[in-house]
Amino acid sequence: MRLIWPFPEPDRVRVDAGFLDPAYPEWRRRMGLPPDEHPGADLNLRGTSGDGDLGYPVVAVAEGRVVHARAHRVWGQIILLEHDLPGLGKFWTQYAHLLFAVVREGDWVMAGEPVGSIGKGDPLLACSSP
pLDDT, tens digit, for every residue of 57-67? 899 989 999 99
pLDDT, tens digit, for every residue of 23-53? 655 656 676 766 665 555 666 656 666 566 7
pLDDT, tens digit, for every residue of 73-109? 777 788 999 999 888 889 888 888 888 899 999 999 9
Distance CA 62, CA 97 (A): 19
Domain boundaries, the chain: 10-118
The domain made up of 10-118 is a member of CATH 3.40.640.10: no
pTM for this entry: 0.70
3-state DSSP helix/strand/coil % of the chain, to nearest 5: 10, 40, 50
